[in-house]
Amino acid sequence: MNLTIALARLLIFPGLLFAVPTAWFFLWVERKAVALMQQRIGPPFMQPFFDFIKLLGKTTPARSGVSGLLMKAWPLLAVSAAAGAVGLLPVLPLSGGFQGDLVLLLALMELPSICIIAAGFSSRSIFGEIGSAREAVLTVSYNVVFLLAVVSIAVSQHTFRLEALAQLPASPLRWLGVLAILVCLPAKLHINPFSLPNAEQEIYSGPMIEYAGPELAMWELSHGLEWVAAAGLVATLAVPHFAAGWIDSLLFVSLSFGIVLLLSVLAAATARLAIDTTARFYWRCALMFAGLAIASTLLMRLRA
């Protein structure tokens, strides 16, 4: 993958130019699905766009010193990491990629969570700090399962290259791994039942509490891009690529949409769990699931 193609993928397709409208669309689907589940009409189609533009036009409180600079830097870092993660997704077949880009994708998908933790502590608000602590506990809990599931898929297919993973046919083991990833996604995207870091009735907005204006707009955008990256990763792993490019892209987009719809409906149907229940859920139930996936993968490799 040379520099031009890499830049084109990061900035045009499936990177920023494609991903930002998709992120707004997914944010709208999230809110609209909740509204429909509650028998409301819900926000208009362009609502996330209106919110974003409005936030760009607001002033931000003046902050001085290193913590002020850091507070400006975290949302930008989160947005660029999430956009980079989307740029790595193999939407079109034969789109390039390199050995080990799955590892880079996982690292880039992890960066927004780390930025949220750091942002909460830089804001020096007590609610921000509680939110950050919760986010840290949540990250440690779900990531073990998430990474084990991804590794089990990669090991069963003998490659850490996304393009190759997308082309290989799906096996039952792979479905087990995809299921384990799906269980982790609500926690990764901070939606119900795992919306602990930004629990609005308990700790206001958690780590975001001191953010305003354009910085808050960047956080909203990074949340939307995380949706695109997470749904795209599952779509990549779940659907094998066929020959024709446009069918693949269509399948990819419709499956991503389906995942967003599924998770939004789950979010609307559930209430928030307490932090200890969440940690216990991931360490006891989901970890067994992921352990099963990786154990059977290793056994299959030994047998082969």
Partner 1 sequence: MNLWSRLMCSCRRRSPWIFHMNSGSCNGCDIELVASLTPRYDAEQLGVRLEGSPRHADILCITGPVTRNSVHAIETVYGQVCSPKAVVAIGSCPATTNVFIDSRVLDGPLNRHIPVDVFVPGCPPRPDAILQGIAKAAEILAERGSRPLVNEENQQ
Binding site for partner 1 (CB under 8 A): 31, 35, 38-44, 46-47, 49-51, 53-54, 56-61, 200-201, 204-205, 208-213, 216
Half-sphere exposure of 57 (CA within 13 A, CB side): 6
- Cβ atoms 157, 84 nearer than 8 A: no
* Nearest CB to partner 1, comparing residues 41 and 243: 41
Phi, psi of 97 (to 5 degrees): 95, 170
* Nearest CB to partner 1, comparing residues 51 and 110: 51
* Nearest CB to partner 1, comparing residues 46 and 140: 46
What is the closest distance, in whole angstroms, from the C-beta atom of residue 272 to partner 1 in the complex?
A: 14
Alpha-carbon distance 88 to 102, whole Å?
A: 8
What is the closest distance, in whole angstroms, from the C-beta atom of residue 50 to partner 1 in the complex?
A: 4
What is the closest distance, in whole angstroms, from the C-beta atom of residue 221 to partner 1 in the complex?
A: 15
How distant is the alpha carbon of residue 27 from its chain centre? Answer: 12
* Nearest CB to partner 1, comparing residues 84 and 120: 120
What is the closest distance, in whole angstroms, from the C-beta atom of residue 49 to partner 1 in the complex?
A: 8
- Cβ atoms 197, 206 nearer than 8 A: yes
What is the closest distance, in whole angstroms, from the C-beta atom of residue 116 to partner 1 in the complex?
A: 15
- Cβ atoms 254, 113 nearer than 8 A: no
* Nearest CB to partner 1, comparing residues 71 and 109: 71
- Cβ atoms 249, 92 nearer than 8 A: yes
236 vs 32, 79, 150, 257, CA distance in Å? 25, 21, 12, 13
